[in-house]
Amino acid sequence: MKQFFLTGIIFYFFVIRTVAQQERSYVYQGEFGVLAGASQYFGDLNPDLHFNTPKIVLGLFFRKQVTDYIGVRIQGQFARLGYSDVYNTQNAFYLRRNLSFNTNIWQLGVQGDFNFLRFIPGDGDHRATPYLTIGIGMFSFDPYAYLDGQKYYLRELGTEGQGSPAYPDRKPYSNIAAYIPLGLGYKYNLNPKMNIGIEAVYNFTTTDYIDDVSKTYAGINNFPTLPDGSPSVAALLQDRSYETGSPPIGIQGRQRGYQNQNDGFLYLEIMFSMNLSSYRCPTY
């Protein structure tokens, strides 16, 4: 009798444990992923919002899922931006202005993702959703241009008179600024472990100097000449209209950019992520 009772207890706990393991529920905790795509600059050199100079953007992200509808994301990205007045073929002033720039962007931010539908990996009825994303972060930039094949960083040259005694109110601008990403995305759960998605995000910024263009021309006379009397690099890069015609248009005080409108940039990205999960076992 005692042996029979002991056998029954062992059998009971074996069955309970087996059923519990079979019935334990999958809990979606979040994702870790990578992204890649195209970036496009908009600003003083591209005020008409042309999408004609796409460059690369790469990134990593971690998303913590708070509910089936809300996630919080930490994201770091690297991108390249650039533009040139040679693309502004419909505007004679821009063509004469003849400015250009390139820059690398490094950014780190926090975003909130708000799903339009429930998203539950592994659930065939809730495996895809469009979503809205918005956040805040910081980024660095350092615009540069080429002159006679030589690369020059523009910020340190003070091309709009920054740091010059002639313009005491124009201080050198910071190469670090804040940004606010706002965009839409769509993600699809391939299987319980993997997702794929697409995202379009516009990055509003707090700077008008991503392209090193903002206010008015400082005027060539406010840039000291070299010992041999020739113009300095800063003087040659602050007004490059001498390369497109005569006389140069960079008269002191003439509009060079649009100082009341900050620069921005757009990302179009493909995202791939691995799900982070845990299991919740039922209690008995």
Model confidence over 153-170: pLDDT tens digits?
999 999 999 999 999 999
Report whether pLDDT(1) > 70.
no
| Position 280 confidence tier, pLDDT thresholds 50, 70, 90 | low
Q: Would you say 259 and 215 are in contact if contact means Cβ atoms under 8 Å apart? A: yes
Q: What is the structure's pLDDT at 21?
A: 44
In this structure, whether the domain defined by 27-280 belongs to CATH 2.40.160.20 is answered with yes
- Give per-residue pLDDT as tens, 242-269: 999 999 999 999 999 999 999 999 999 9
Label residue 124 by pLDDT band (50, 70, 90). Answer: confident
- Confidence grade of residue 10 (pLDDT, cut at 50, 70, 90): very low
Contacts of 64 (CB under 8 A, 6+ apart): 29, 30, 71, 72, 73
Domain boundaries, given as residue ranges, for the chain: 27-280
Res. 122 pLDDT band, cuts 50 70 90: confident
Give pTM, 2 decimals. Answer: 0.86
